[in-house]
Amino acid sequence: MNFEQNENLKMIEQMARDFAEREIRPHFMEWDETQHFPKELFHKLGELGMMGVLVPEQYGGAGLGYFEYMIVIQEIAKVCGSIGLSVAAHNSLCTNHILSFGTEEQKQKYLPKLASGEWIGAWGLTEANTGSDAMRMKCVAKKEGNEWVLNGTKNWITHGISGDVAVVLARTGDLLDSNGITAFVVERGTPGFKGGKKENKLGMRASETAELIFEDCRIPEENVLGEIGAGFKQAMKILDGGRISIGALALGIAKGAMEASVRYSKEREQFGQPIANFQAIAFKLADMATEIEASEMLLSEAADLKNRGENVTKVSAMAKYYASEVSVKVATEGVQIFGGYGYTKDFPVEKFYRDSKLCTIGEGTSEIQKLVISREILKD
């Protein structure tokens, strides 16, 4: 495996970095404080191909692979985890689900608008009482003629209010039947479909998280994604790739916290010298750098497997688990290095600290990743 960056990867990295510095850094704390979801920003990201990184050019996307995708997420997350999270959810969940399982007509209809950033995508799996235990979902869809009638609520949905289109998983069979869940594409404005409560979160505050509510929402048969009853299995495959994107998000947050910590440790003086000269600080930086490097290698292996179409379940779970836990650890150490200043909103590490925690929860908790990893090991 050769993970060395080529010129194309370096160009994409610079493009994403320049965009983040120009369009995000001047505003990210204001967005965080007010919980403002800057929808107009994602139209600009779409113009640069960052809302359809994995979408083939024939559908209006950038037609790139997972290494490029990782770099885009990382560079954005180094400045603002919230924006990185929204870009990740849009690309790897909603858009990728339609790309992976949609008919040609569905791809032609939805992917160009999603890849351009004209439309923002949402993905609905989680419910109030069914997070990790998704097969107990209560959101149901019943067939009536050539339509499906959807009733229920989805919770913790990125872009639940502002999303223009959502891929929604609903029960169409018996409870606990892995072949009894179906995926649907639901457009905003469909009667019976609305956004609900917006969550007031610890971190990732500029990434909108809200309910999806369905009340006798009629969905035409042509909006079924893939086969009826195959939704749960589709979702598990989508989450395999989603773990790479959340891992990349965690890695970007960790790198941002690390870079800020290195700069500060060289500038901050105590006892007549920079604190970087003290072994207690230098060793923290050494641990941070080592664990970031290990996270990146695991994620690169997962990206390589995904690009080659090989089974990525175990490695993507390992990469997401490790990178997310490292992100929390690095951000925590960053706050410690900054001392009292690290506890204020005038310096960047407190936001990295708050944002990092979501990475150990979203798209499968660390505990679920261990379950996936152990099952794959024992299966082998």
- Could you give the C-alpha distances from 315 to 38, 94, 292, 321, in angstroms and in order? 33, 22, 16, 10
pTM of the model: 0.96
Residues with Cβ within 8 Å of residue 295, at least 6 apart in sequence: 247, 250, 251, 254, 319, 322, 323, 326, 327
| Model pLDDT for residues 75-111, shown as the tens digit of each residue | 999 999 999 999 999 999 999 999 999 999 999 999 9
Catalytic site includes residue 363? yes
Measured between alpha carbons, how far is 251 from 115 in angstroms, rounded to an integer? 24
- Within 13 Å of residue 165, how many CA atoms lie on the same side as its CB? 25
CA angle 364, 151, 161 (to 5 degrees): 60
Residues with Cβ within 8 Å of residue 330, at least 6 apart in sequence: 253, 254, 257, 258, 288, 291, 292, 356
Do 238 and 54 meet the contact criterion of CB atoms below 8 Å apart? no
Do 153 and 212 meet the contact criterion of CB atoms below 8 Å apart? yes
pLDDT in tens, the chain (380 residues): 666 678 999 999 999 999 999 999 999 999 999 999 999 999 999 999 999 999 999 999 999 999 999 999 999 999 999 999 999 999 999 999 999 999 999 999 999 999 999 999 999 999 998 878 888 999 999 999 999 999 999 999 999 999 999 999 999 999 888 899 999 999 999 999 999 999 999 999 999 999 999 999 999 999 999 999 999 999 999 999 999 999 999 999 999 999 999 999 999 999 999 999 999 999 999 999 999 999 999 999 999 999 999 999 999 999 999 999 999 999 999 999 999 999 999 999 999 999 999 999 999 999 999 999 999 999 96
What is the distance, to the nearest Å, from the Cα of residue 87 to the centroid of all Cα atoms in its chain?
A: 7
Do 191 and 219 meet the contact criterion of CB atoms below 8 Å apart? no
| Model pLDDT for residues 167-205, shown as the tens digit of each residue | 999 999 998 888 999 999 999 999 999 999 999 999 999
Which position among 208, 301, 363, 376 bears the catalytic label?
363
- Exposure letters 146-181 (e unless 16+ CB within 10 A, then b): eebbbbbbbbbbbbbbbbbbbbbbbbbbeeeeeebb
Q: What is the 3 state secondary structure string of 340-353?
A: HHHHCCCCCHHHHH
User: For the chain, where are the alpha helices, taking DSSP H only?
Assistant: 7-19, 28-34, 39-47, 66-77, 81-89, 96-101, 104-115, 231-267, 279-307, 313-338, 349-356, 366-379
DSSP annotation of 35 reads T
